Every structure is written in C-alpha cells, then in structure tokens.
Amino acid sequence: MKRILLPIIAAIVILSGCTKNFESLNTNPLAASPASFDANFFLSNAQNTYKEAIGGYAGPILFQSGWVQILSSTTSGAANYYSNMDKYVQSSNTNSYTANSWSSCYRAASLAQQIVKDYGKNADQVNVVSAAIVVKALAMQYATDVYGDLPYAEALQGETGISQPKYDKQEAVMKGLLTELEGALTKFDAAKLKPSADVFYGGDVVKWKKLGYSVMLRIAMRFTKRDAAFAKTWAEKAFAGGVITSSADDAFMRGSNATGYSNPNARALDIPADFYSVRWSKRMIDFLRSTNDPRLGVVAEVPPAGLTGNTTFGLAGNNVPANQVGQPNGYDLNGGATDITKSPGYPGGTGTGGELCPIGKYSRPRTSVYTPNRDVAFFIMTAAETSLLLAEAAARGWSVGGNAATHYANGVRSGMESLATFSSTGTVATAAINTYIAANPLNVTSQAASLKQINEQFWATTGLLMNFTESWNNWRRTDFPVLTPVVYTGNFSGGVIPRRQIYPTGEASVNDANYKIGVGGLTPATDTWASRVWWDN
C-alpha cells in the first residue's frame, strides 16, 4: 500500500508547486472551447442541417410530395422507393427515411442551442444568438408538425445527463417556440455584430427579423383548428413585428455541390432512376391549366420522345403549355390493373420498340429550372407563403393590414417571382403575372370561398417552390385542396392520405416509456401514418 501512496503524494507535492502555470501547461492547444472557437460557424451548420431535414430523401420528396399529390411516380425499376409517396407502400428503406427528418431537425436545433449557450450572455453577439433561436424554432416546429408530441423541454441536454428526455405535448412545444421567438426577435440590433457565417441572408439583421416573425405567423396559423383566438393573437403579433412580404426577402440557400452542400431536391431528382420516374401530378397540371396560369410553361416540360429522350440529362423538353399532361397518382408499370397504360385518359407513350417509353408524354419538372445543377436554390420560407397566410388571416377578420384580396394578390405575385431564384429560365414575365392577377382575383363572395381559393393557391405555390411538407401541412390544417386518396394494394395508411410520419423505430427501444406517452397524444393513440397530431384534430 505504501508503494502506491508515495508516488501519489509526490505527484501532489509536485503539482502544488506548479499551480501558477498548470492550466496553461495542461490545456490541449488543439481543443476548441467557447473562448477559442467562433460559435458563429455553428449557425451555417445548423442552417444546412435544417435544409437537409426538409428536403430530398430526408422525407419530403419521398413522402409528402406524393401524399399531397404535387408529384407522381410510376415507381418502376430502381426508383421503387417512390412507392412511399405515390401509393403509400413501404419500400426497403422506409424506416430509415422516416427517421431522417427527426435526426436532422434535432441536430440543427442542437447546433443552434450551442450558440445560445456560448454567446447568450455576450451582448455583442445578440444577433447570432437571435438568429440561432429562429433556426431552432424552424427545426423544432418542423419536427413536431411531422411527428407529433416530442422531446422539447428536456431535449438538447445530453451533456447534463438527460439521455431519455420526456415527450412534451405538441401544444406546449409550439407555445414554447412562440415564447422563445418573441424574446429573441425583440433583441435583434443592427448596431451590433452581424452573424458572420450566415448562409440565408449574409448577416442582414433586418431580413432575419422578418424571417423570425414569419415563422411566428406560421406557428400561429397551426392553431386555427384548435384555438382560433390564440391563433389570431399571435398572427396579429407576427404581422405587427414585420413578416416577409417581398420575394426579395425570401429565405433560401444556394447549393454548393463541389463542397458537399448541394440542394437535396436537385440531388434526388438528377439521379437517373428518379429523373426518369418523377413527374408532375395530374392534379397539379390540371390546376395550373384551369386558370391559364403562366407558371405552367415555366415549371413543366414534356421530355423528348423515346426512352433515351426521357433518361438523358441535358436534353430540354417541350414546355408549350398546351402540351403539358399531368401523370395520375397511384399507377405503376407492372402490367396489371394499376399499370399506367390503363389509367383513364392515358395519352400514350413515345418511341417504339426498345425505345418505347410508356410515360413519355407526362410532364416532368422542367430541368433548366429545377435541376440545371445541384447548386440550385433551396427555399426555406418565402413571401408567397407569408402573404397567403396573411390572406387567410384577413379573410377570418383578423387585423393583419390591408384585406384578404390584397394579401392574396401579393402571394400570387411573390410565388411567381420566386421561381426565377431557381434559375433565369424560371422567370415569369411581369406582364403575364399582372394579367393573371387581374383575371383571377380572390373570390370574396363568402369567407368559405376565400379560404378555399387561398389555400388551394398555397398548395400549388409551395409545391412549385418544392416546399412539399408545407403544402402537406397546410392541406392537413385546411383540407384544401380536396384530394382523393390513392388506394393501392399493401398501403401502410389504411387507404387514407397519411396524416403524419411514424416515429423513428429507435425511439421505442432507447426511450420507450416517454415514447409511449408521446404516442398517447395522437388521435387515435397509435403510432401509425393515419393518426393525427394535436393541431390536426
């Protein structure tokens, strides 16, 4: 025993004589700490991680885009994973896909929260802290919208020893986010340091504040089914704070494929099997044609004839509006009763023999707009969305400035203008926009008529800007547009359009007791695709 104690005592004596320089001598010069690391850089990481949560194979393009009938796919060959969206049929990787948004949202929120932790008491860094809270709100709202009740109050605290956080009720989560936003947005200060690693706005504090109040508006409108008075209070508060009302203030990210930060939707759609399989839905093309919408010839194209023409990148299609044909949802290329060739109004294929392409006449997203490369813009939130939400609020009689017709017209205009952000070929001529708005004013003969038109336009506009989950969220909230579910053999939702994504399978094993409490907040209280989250009841 003495032989062990003596070296320890000696070490204590030696260290006690070196206390003056001990900390500096024993600090790892390669380790990052709040003092040595600029937490601004967590912001760009949080922004990019959130982008990955709401696009591509994280879920939206494989789930919500088809659930809400914006895109369609025959799910043939290598692209059979699109069965998740077009027919609600599980593919081999469904469980992985459904967990992606959960994981990425929590990672984005964790990165944002680290900024708050590191800089929350630094008055000079108030702008990056406030921006981080906006990103956290975006991520946590997205997650609760998609899944339901989830960890919030005890989330993001792994370093404190909380490894099994309790699930909070969705109502509490959303009210908590509103409170966090309200506190942060009043602290933005253009006279203080700008966020130095901001990939949304390049540090523009005024635009960040507008984005934050727009997120507040979005959250407020989720309460319309459950507590319209509460929704009204917060929608009016968001408007008073100042939301995004011009496409010049849209929040979006440019991809950077060369450095590994590409647009997740473009990354998916330019994979050969996806490029061939994915088309605009009949519901979308018919909607655009019904009002002579000038976006039709901008967003859609019929591929060149034949199999080669349908599978070769870089070959421009025919974007003449009269030639566009939407593909009906729920069909395949398997030769049976649900083969696309047996769909009502089938227009025929293109090519012959080995070049026969059965889906060759159906319109795809125009490649020069959506997939000229993987660096194309990815939208986070737009003036079109906020203006249409304000139009609904005004139609409900709330005090959000102007009237429903004016907000509606602004939403339509902004949505058309924003397409040019993808690429110059997405430009809709100003004259065409003016003509369309004049010919298609908001129907104000009744509140019901106004709400129907506003929310159908919301569906189309967010869909064309490839914000698929917001199209789906708003459809769940308003029931517009009226959609007929696909009933395909083996579907996982009981023949109804899915109302949520199931929780990641790992939750039941690593946090089972709290997971079960979360499931209890659904209607019915089962972890299924058809159960409804709190605000959807």
pLDDT attached to residue 35: 59
Tens-digit pLDDT profile for residues 275-303: 999 999 999 999 999 999 999 999 999 99
Entry pTM: 0.93
Mean of all residue pLDDT scores within the chain: 92
Q: Are 293 and 324 in contact (CB under 8 A)?
A: no
What single-letter DSSP state applies at residue 350?
A: B
Can you tell me the mean pLDDT for 75-103?
90
Residue 214: helix, strand or coil by DSSP? helix
Q: Where in the chain is the domain with CATH 1.25.40.390?
A: 45-254+377-478
Structural tokens at position 423 = 């690429």
Task: Work out whether the CA dihedral 321, 325, 327, 332 comes out positive or negative.
Answer: negative
pLDDT attached to residue 13: 31
pLDDT attached to residue 38: 82
| Among candidate residues 304, 412, 420, the one with its CA nearest the CA of residue 363 | 304
Structural tokens at position 443 = 């129907």
pLDDT attached to residue 17: 36
How many Å apart are CA 83 and CA 73, to the nearest integer?
A: 8
State how far Cα 51 lies from the chain centre: 7
Tens-digit pLDDT profile for residues 215-259: 999 999 999 999 999 999 999 999 999 999 999 999 999 999 998
Can you tell me the mean pLDDT for 115-120?
94
Exposure of 253 in the CB half-sphere (CA atoms within 13 A) = 25
Can you tell me the mean pLDDT for 356-377?
97
pLDDT confidence of 77, banded at 50, 70, 90?
A: low
Residue 121: helix, strand or coil by DSSP? coil
In 159-305, which residue ranges form alpha helices assigned H by DSSP?
Answer: 170-185, 205-221, 228-241, 264-269, 272-277, 282-290, 296-299
Residue 123: helix, strand or coil by DSSP? helix
May I ask the CATH architecture of the domain 45-254+377-478? Alpha Horseshoe (1.25)
Burial (Cβ within 10 Å: 0-12, 13-18, ≥19) of residue 225 = middle
How many Å apart are CA 43 and CA 199, to the nearest integer?
A: 8
- Which strand (E) or helix (H) includes residue 439? helix 430-439
How many Å apart are CA 34 and CA 38, to the nearest integer?
A: 7
